Amino acid sequence: MTKALAMMSGGLDSVLAAKLIKDQGIEVIGICFKSYFFGPENAIRMAKQIDVPLEVVDFSEEHFEMVKNPKHGYGKNINPCIDCHALMMNYSGKMLEKYEADFIITGEVLNQRPMSQNKSSLDVVKKESGFSEKILRPLCAKNLAPTKMELEGLVNRENLMDISGRSRKVQMELAEKWEIKDYPSPAGGCKLTEPNYSKRLRDLLDKKENIVKNDLEVLRFGRHFRVSEKAKIISTRTAEEAQEIKQYLSKNDMIFLAKNFNGSMVIILGEPNEEDIEFAAKITGRYCKGKNEEKIEIKYGYFKQPLDKCLEVKAATEEELSKYILS
């Protein structure tokens, strides 16, 4: 029996591509990739809707090394989509033997994304993957040259599609036809495509050499301020966010809280000087209930230690915040 590995991102296109091939009587196994910047949750949900098994592959470390210096550069933000797709295809290609599969399916659509899914970019991805003869793009196959799988009769080309461009009309009609109802918006999924996250990551890459997982995890929370070459301040937005970020902090990080008012938990990461510490206190004052007071007492100390130090400050002004804020 013919067998295919379907690269499933968790988006609608990839699940439709898998379903299209499955309906040809081909056995389909889903492959989903997990990194520091995207997870498998959507793919797990989508695979269940078309009843295909799914394997989650964690390639976080190798993916991050590629993100630091992608051969083909970044997209609009800090998303190296061409190199990312090629890396995923390379992983999938190496798994063909393990599953005794014949080829790889992707949900790419010609010209859906102007930079990463034009004809030239699709060709680059295939070449860079190292498995160019094993890659099939069912949703736009009729807009491309026939693949080896089609020519050899493993796949019926007539039952493939010729979708092109940014419109999602055809995909949504297919989703309705196949009763695929629970799918995410096309913009979601990867942190590297988000402008605010990208600003924070660029700053981190510029300022810190030995980056670890927790450095990347904290980028997801709060407001970020770059106050000096060696120190960054994070102001959490909610109590839930403050609680969640704690799992990524270390004993070297400093915590700030307003002494007599409810408000944001503020954190300094890095190696702050006295000016950085004072500004962290002023930010704490700005995002607490007492921000309009003439002076606010701020208690602070190292994470998991008593907050036994105190500063009396005036809340930071909007002008001061705008000078240092990343996002």
Domain ranges of the chain: 3-183, 194-324
Neighbours of 321 (CB within 10 A): 18
Q: What is the pLDDT of residues 70-117, one digit of tens each?
A: 999 998 899 999 999 999 999 999 999 999 999 999 999 988 876 677
Q: Report residue 100 as tokens.
A: 């005794």
For the segment 255-275, what is each residue's pLDDT rounded down to a tens digit? Answer: 999 999 999 999 999 999 999
pTM of the model: 0.89
Q: What is the average per-residue pLDDT within 173-192?
A: 85
pLDDT at 30: 98
pLDDT band for position 51 (50/70/90)? very high
Residue 134 in tokens: 């094993």
Q: Is the pLDDT confidence value at 187 over 80? A: no
What pLDDT was estimated at residue 184? 81
Of the candidates 45, 26, 316, 40, the one whose C-alpha atom is nearest the C-alpha of residue 180 is 45
At 57, is the pLDDT very low, low, confident or very high (cuts 50, 70, 90)? very high
User: Closest Cα partner for 276 from 210, 204, 234, 227?
Assistant: 227
41, 44, 36, 39: which is closest to 62 by C-alpha?
36
Kindly report each contact of residues 237-246 with a partner whose C-beta sits within 8 Å and lies 24 or more positions away, as own/partner. Answer: 237/264, 245/218, 245/221, 246/303
**For the domain with range 3-183, which CATH number is right: 3.30.1330.10, 3.30.428.10, 3.40.50.620, 3.40.50.11540?**
3.40.50.620
Lowest mean pLDDT among 42-56, 85-99, 116-130: 116-130
5: three-class secondary structure by DSSP = strand
